[in-house]
Amino acid sequence: VKRSQAEISASRDELAQMHTTLLDSSAALERVALTDALTGLGNRHALTKKMEQCLSKGAEQRRGLCVQLLDLDFFKQINDKHGHLAGDAVLREVALRLTTTLPANTAIGRWGGEEFILLFEQVTLADAQILAEKVRLAIASSPVIFETQVINISTSIGIASNRDLNAHSTDPLLAAADEALYRAKDNGRNRVEVANT
């Protein structure tokens, strides 16, 4: 059966539309796979991928990468005292404060639970400390209001820089930021600490 030119053209248009729909669906699935459902930030997988991309460049292309790990202080007590819906509201509010406080090119993600991660490219350690202090103040400056509850929040922050550590992979960088974070908690919380070099 011979098809008319109009039928062939309609068939091509239909195939092109199906291809576009498939590409859109694929892009949407990738966004979902890389996004934290509660906060809308990048998830652990997305931020790990971003770190690996930054660190995998050759020495001549590699830019300085500072990692900040943030852990909300006494978050379990917030959940226990105010309930998990209040805890979720706190996490969403912290995500909002991070995105409104930091430069647009900052990679911001939820690392897991009440932990967040920030990635800064081409930022000195001194500038990363200034940004961390700005974040700490933005989070602690005002309570989160959930329904009728007033919830005071603060965060401890650990910073590590691949240049200072001569780190070319994610593991030593994350370990150093994590160690600095726990030192911030041990030293009284609601503070910023830098990794030992």
Q: Which of 114, 121, 147, 179 is catalytic?
A: 114
As to burial, measured by CB atoms within 10 angstroms (0-12 exposed, 13-18 middle, 19+ buried), residue 165 is: middle
Name the residue among 90, 159, 175, 156 with its Cα closest to residue 119: 159
Q: Does the annotation mark 114 as catalytic?
A: yes
Taking alpha carbons only, the member of 110, 126, 130 closest to residue 64 is 126
Going by C-beta distance under 8 Å and a sequence separation of 6 or more, which residues neighbour residue 91?
Answer: 38, 39, 72, 110, 114
Query: Among all residues, which ones are annotated catalytic?
Result: 114
